[in-house]
Amino acid sequence: MKNLTLAASLLALSAFTPPSLPVADTSAPVLANDPNTTSEVPQDNKLVIYQLLPRLFGNKVALNKPYGTILENGCGKFNDINDLALTKIKELGVSHMWYTGVLEHATMTSYPAAGLPADDADVVKGRAGSPYAVKDYYDVDPDLAVNPKNRLEEFEALVKRTHAHGLKVIIDFIPNHVARSYHSDAKPAGVVDLGAQDDKTKSFAPNNNFYYLPGQHFVVPAGYNPLGALKGPGEDGKYNEFPAKATGNDVFSAAPKLDDWFETVKLNYGVDYQNGRATHFDPVPDTWKKMRDILVYWAQKDVDGFRCDVAEMVPVEFWAYVIPEVKKVKPGIIFIGEAYNPKEYNTYLTKGHFDFLYDKVGLYDGLRRLMRQEGTTDDITHVWKEESNGFSSHMLRFLENHDEQRIASKEFATNPRRAIPAMTVAATLASGPVMLYMGQEVGEPAAGAAGFNTGDGRTTIFDYWSVPEHQKWMNHGKFDGGKLSPEQKQLRDFYARLLSLAGSSEAIRKGRFYELQDANNLGKEYDQRKLYTFLRYSKGQQVLVVVNFSDTKTYHPTVLIPDNVLQTIGLDPQRIYAYHDLLNGGEARNSLNLTLEPLSATVLEIKPR
C-alpha cells in the first residue's frame, strides 16, 4: 500500500550505521577502489518470490461486471492453489509464495452463518474491500474459504501444501493502520483487543492503541459514493465513530479527504505527532507488545516470512524491538519492508533488522523509464553505485506488484516483451530477491474499470474480479497454458528460464558484480544508452550478462572484458574461453561478437575451451 504523500509522513529516523552483512562467497577477488565494482558481500541464497492474490488467482468466472458481487464475478479460494498449481508455479524457479490479502479485512460481503456481518459501505473501498484495511489480525478472509466457518483450517492446509512442494510462505503484515471497524472475534483467549483499554478522552497516550480527536464525530469524505447508483449495506454517507480516530496516512482530522486512507485508522506506536513527534518508547508501548504477539501467532502457524506494509510509517525502533523477538520464536523467518526512502534504507536494514527492502525508488523506477523508451542505462549504473555501500543484496527487485501498473498496460509499456531486458537485469544484477507478480509472465494488461478501481493499468485489489490472461494459463484448473497464444507461451517460457537460472546459478545467487559499461563505451556498435553489460562472478562460476533495451534496433557489438577484469573475476587472460548461453541455450560461441536483437537478453557462462 502506498501514499502519494508518503515522504511527508515518514518518521525522523536515526543516523547511518554500517551494515552487518551475512557471510557469503568471500573468496572471489575484488579490485580495490575500482569504480565499476562493489566490494559488498552478497547474500548466500537468492529468493525468487511469486506474488498472488488468492481472491484473483483461482477465480474461473470471466464476467467481470463493474461493482459485481462475489456471486456475480466469483472469487478464488485457498483450495484453488492446489498441488497442480503449485507444481506449475515452482517450475518458474520460484522459492517463496507471497499470498496477498490473507488477513480478514473490511468488506461489503456478509457471512451470516459464520457470524460475520458486512461492513458499512461508507468506509469500505470496493465491494471486496482493501486487503490493507484489516478487520481482525487473528483471522483470515472468509471470501477465500470454501466453507467460511473453516477458513483458518483451509489456510493452514494451504501452508502445509505449499511446504510440501518445497516452497515457503510469505503473508502481509499491516502494522500502520487497521480498518475503522476493527474488532477481533478470533483472537486467542486472554488477548485484549486493540483499543479496548484506550483512554479515549486523550488525543494521545503512550499506551493507547489509537489516536483520538476527543469531542469530534468522524465524517465520511464528501462525495464518497462507493457503488455509484448501486447501494451497498449502510451506504448513507454516515459512519458512527465517536470520538473520531486519526486516519491511516497520518491525517489528524475528523473529516479526512477522499484521497486519504479514510477507510483506515492509524495505530499508535508511542509517537506524539501533534506535539513535535515526541517519542515514548520506554516502557515498551502496548501496541508494540500486541503486534509482537500477532506476528508470533502467525509464525507459529508456520508462516515463513512477512511483507511489511509501509514499513517506514512505523518507527524504526519498533522494528528493532519486534523482529529479533519474532526470530527468537522462528529463527529463519524473513521480514521484507515496503520502503520508499533511499536515505533511510541502511537504518531499516541495520537498526531495524529487516532482511530485505523494496527497490522501488531506484531500480524499478530506472527500469520503468527504460521500458518506456524514456531513460538510459545510466539509471542502472546510478542505482548499483548508490546501493553498493552495503545494501544492494538486501533489495527486493521487481517490475510489477499489486501497487504498480502492469507492464502490458497502455499506462506503462504496452508491449510485455519490453520486460525481457529489464527483468533480466532485475533478476541477475545482485544476489537479493527477485519477485514476479501473478499474470506478469503472460502479459496481463489490467484493462477495464472494475468498480472502485477505475482502470489505471493496475489489477484491482478492491473488487471481485478476474485476471483474463492469467485465466488463459489456468485453463479452468488445468494450469497448462492451453488457452495462451504462442507469444504468451514464449513469454512465460522466458520467465521460467530466467528465474530458474537466477535461483540456481552460483554466480548469480551469491557472486559479486562488475559493470562493463566503461570498458565498452567506445566499442563498435555499442550504444551505451541502450545496451547494458555486467559480470557476476564467484569462485566457481563467471557469468556475463548483456541486454538490449531498444525496441527497434539490432546491435552487433564485440563485448570487451579487459585483462585486469578477467584477473579480478578469477580468469587467466592468456587462456582461450568459450561462452555458453545459460538463458537461451544453443551452441557455445567462441567469441564475444554478439548479435543483440531488439528487447533481448543473453547470459553467458565463461568457460575454458
Render the burial of 177-209: b for 16+ CB within 10 Å, e for the rest: bbbbbbebeebeeebebbbeebeeeebbbbbbb
| pLDDT of 6 | 37
> pLDDT tens across 589-607, in order?
999 999 999 999 999 999 9
On whether the CB atoms of residues 412 and 420 are closer than 8 A, the answer is: no
> pLDDT tens across 328-380, in order?
999 999 999 999 999 999 999 999 999 999 999 999 999 999 999 999 999 99
| pLDDT of 506 | 97
Q: Confirm or reject CATH 3.20.20.80 for domain 6-178+286-503, answering yes or no.
A: yes
User: Backbone phi, then psi, for 8, in 5-degree steps?
Assistant: -70, -15
At 11, the pLDDT band (50, 70, 90 cuts) reads: very low
Res 7 pLDDT > 80: no
Q: Average pLDDT for residues 131-157, to the nearest whole number?
A: 98
| pLDDT of 256 | 98
Cell of 238: 454516515
**Whole-number Å distance between alpha carbons of 219 and 243:** 11
3-state SS, residue 98: strand
Res 48 pLDDT > 70: yes
Res 35 pLDDT > 90: no
**Whole-number Å distance between alpha carbons of 609 and 601:** 23
* Placement of cell 538490449 in the chain: 548
> pLDDT tens across 78-88, in order?
999 999 999 99
- Other CB atoms within a 10 A radius of the CB of residue 240 amount to 9
* Cross-strand pairs, 397: 434
| pLDDT of 242 | 98
| pLDDT of 27 | 57
At 195, the pLDDT band (50, 70, 90 cuts) reads: very high
Cell of 105: 479485512
| pLDDT of 427 | 98
Res 168 pLDDT > 70: yes
**pLDDT above 90 covers what percent of the chain?**
88
Res 393 pLDDT > 90: yes
At 28, the pLDDT band (50, 70, 90 cuts) reads: low
- 94-103, 226-235, 525-534, 587-596: which range is least confident on average? 226-235
Domains 6-178+286-503 and 516-608 share a fold: no
| pLDDT of 169 | 98
| pLDDT of 24 | 46
Cell of 432: 537479493
Res 8 pLDDT > 70: no
Domain extent listing, the chain:
6-178+286-503, 516-608
**Whole-number Å distance between alpha carbons of 244 and 252:** 9
* Cross-strand pairs, 593: 558
- 233-247, 461-475, 530-544, 551-565: which range is least confident on average? 233-247
- Other CB atoms within a 10 A radius of the CB of residue 514 amount to 24
> pLDDT tens across 423-446, in order?
999 999 999 999 999 999 999 999
3-state SS, residue 589: strand
| pLDDT of 389 | 66
Q: Average pLDDT for residues 406-420, to the nearest whole number?
A: 98
Q: Average pLDDT for residues 462-491, to the nearest whole number?
A: 98
| pLDDT of 14 | 31
| pLDDT of 522 | 84
- Other CB atoms within a 10 A radius of the CB of residue 571 amount to 18
**Whole-number Å distance between alpha carbons of 448 and 471:** 16
At 45, the pLDDT band (50, 70, 90 cuts) reads: confident
- Quote the mean pLDDT of the chain: 93
**Whole-number Å distance between alpha carbons of 499 and 511:** 16
* Cross-strand pairs, 179: 264
Q: Could you tell me the CATH superfamily of domain 516-608?
A: Golgi alpha-mannosidase II (2.60.40.1180)
- 38-52, 201-215, 544-558, 564-578: which range is least confident on average? 38-52
**pLDDT above 70 covers what percent of the chain?**
93
Res 394 pLDDT > 70: yes
